[in-house]
Chain A
Amino acid sequence: MIRFENVGLRYGMGQEILRDLSFEIEPQSFQFLTGPSGAGKTSLIRLLFMSLRPTRGLIRVFGRDLSIIDKKELPELRRKIGVVFQDFRLLDHLTTYENVALPLRVLGKEEAEYRSDVIELLQWVGLGERMHVFPPVLSGGEKQRAAIARALITRPEVLLADEPTGNVDPPLARRLLRLFTELNKLGTSVVIATHDMSLLEQFNARQLVLEDGRMTVYD
């Protein structure tokens, strides 16, 4: 689905922060992306999500070579990838419901078409009673779940989550991880960036370990 070959990344004229990355995200796979803080996990997530272009190497996303792809085709590819950011990136002037429904509005769907889907997904993530609430009054865990619901609403083929358990207590972190594994069982490839070693110990999954800009893959 997503394939990296000898990918390198540097910001400006600085030194390379990611070096010779070669790996593949297989369909229906589950992997942790880990490494110490500042190892480049977020930059790698941004590369996976096509919001950054590599300074060298080849990235193929759903069979398309990103170096030659037309800019107009990027939104179509991005819709196949759901992203949960560490800082949630919910829009404060929209309610929880409207935030989760945003990707469907972007697709040009009418509200009547998606209303029940959004409500059911919100209930599933435990935010059924909080759908009219604006993000500033949601707790960290609720924001995290709203961000996850927004990432899932269009049923993406790949889910990228950057430190999804970074702002929640351990029991909620375990529940969110169970949610990700359930999604994976339903067919979504999941990439979770985390530096929480206890999570890695709880779930036996493929690990992509970043250190000094280089990656080691433990299958």
Chain B
Amino acid sequence: MKSPTPPDRRDTPPSAPASPKNRAKKPVALKTRKKPTVKKKKGSGKSGGLRPSAPIVPPQTVAGRALALVVAIMSLLACLTVGAVTLVWDAADDWQNDLVREITIQIRPIDGVDMLREIDKAIALTLEFPGIESVQALSDDETRSLLQPWLGEGLELDALPVPRLIQVSVSDPGLLNIQDLRISLEEQVAGASLDDHSVWTSRLSAMAGAVVLVGFGILTLVLGSMVLSVVFATQAAMAGNKDVVSVLHFVGAEDSFIAREFQRHFLVLGLKGGITGGLVAVICFVCIGLLTRNSAGYAGADQFTALFGSISVSIPGYVGVVAVVALVAFLTSITSRWAVKAHLRKVD
């Protein structure tokens, strides 16, 4: 193993004469000399025991750890918001689907008109329309049991002008033209009217839209707070690393290089925080799903399930979590780059 020669015994620099000509060719003209023997560390590889180049911006600082925690919390809140929005959206979608797949035809009794004939006519007419799965008129017994809570037992349907209902199941709401069906029924069947629950579906749609809008609002606020935190943290990091910035300046680093180094530092930090927050959110989703499944039978849980269906975040919710993590990392990195460049402009 060749030991290094201290300058007192070896004052000749390891380079060819530095005429401007050869200076332009190589930063350090060492190529003519014998390749140096480097003492390898135990277990070292081809790099002569050198570790992979460390990041220029020191990775572990108190401010950095605090920011990672802030980013993790913000990501968790953003992911939970996304999860809640998808949950409500899915529930509203289910309600809407159920309502859209069922319509009701009502035949009002009219003097001199045979109601049973009108019911048959309405059924035949409805079945001609595409997208219809089944059409079934409520029997006398079904109608009686429907009215029993209000009118009591032993009701004589013929004695009262009770409208009769026809239940229509829709197989494909996209194929069925409800407006055409309504017009046909009103024109061809005496006393017929169609109820397609459009009032309910439009209200549900408006509610789901409002929930999504509120969710986006919360998401924007959370991400906005995170961006501001990153701006302050970047300024703190710049102040804490002013020696690094100064050294980089005097070794000839351009502002874009310095900004890139800080951006890389904050990208890693944002990814760490984002992934941590996202993972915690996913664990929360799984736990809530398990809890609601295990608490089936309890009054509160049943009420909740009746309202929202099964409380489990769907695939779009998990995709949303991944998107939030990516967005958080992207925002952290872009914000820090912008803040560093602004700081460097001020310094100069």
Q: Residues on A close to B: CB < 8 A?
A: 27, 49, 51, 71-72, 75-76, 78-79, 83, 89, 91, 93-95, 97-98, 101-107, 109, 111, 114-129, 131-132, 145, 150, 152-155, 157, 171, 175-176, 178-179, 182-183, 185-188
Contacts and interface: CB of A to CB of B under 8 A. Distances in A.
Contact of A91 (B3, B8, B247): B247
B300 interface: no
B116 interface: no
Closest 9 CB pairs of A and B: A128-B4, A126-B6, A79-B252, A187-B18, A123-B4, A117-B28, A103-B251, A186-B18, A78-B252
Given A132-B41, A132-B50, A126 B5 contact: yes
Contact of B27 (A97, A117, A119, A182): A117
A75 B247 contact: no
Contacts of B348: 71
Contacts of A125: 7
B94 interface: no
A147 B98 CA distance: 75
- Count chain B CB atoms within 10 A of each CB in A107, A128, A150 and give the residue with the most: A128
B9 to A, nearest CB: 9
Contacts of A89: 243, 246-247, 250
B179 interface: no
Interface residues of B, number: 51
Given A91-B244, A106-B248, A187-B17, A124 B10 contact: yes
B28 A153 contact: yes
B4 A122 contact: yes
B253 A120 contact: no
8 contacts: A89-B250, A106-B252, A111-B53, A123-B36, A126-B5, A152-B13, A155-B26, A179-B7
Contacts of B4: 122-124, 126-129
Interface of B: 3-8, 10-20, 23, 26-30, 33, 35-36, 38-39, 41, 47-51, 53-54, 56, 58, 243-244, 246-254, 257, 348
A177 B16 CA distance: 19
A78 B250 CA distance: 7
Contacts, number: 155
Contacts of A126: 4-7
A132 B52 CA distance: 12
Nearest to A174: B8
Contacts of B8: 171, 175
B5 A182 contact: no
Contact of B252 (A76, A118, A120, A122): A76
Nearest to B52: A111
Contacts of B30: 116-117, 120-121
Contact of A186 (B13, B38, B41): B13
Contact of B11 (A83, A145, A179, A188): A179
B70 to A, nearest CB: 23
- Count chain B CB atoms within 10 A of each CB in A51, A102, A171 and give the residue with the most: A102
Contacts of B50: 97, 111, 115, 131-132
B247 A102 contact: yes
A129 B348 CA distance: 39
Given A105-B53, A121-B14, A126-B6, A187 B20 contact: yes
A91 B243 contact: yes
Nearest to A154: B27
A105 B5 CA distance: 26
A152 B251 CA distance: 11
A182 B8 CA distance: 12
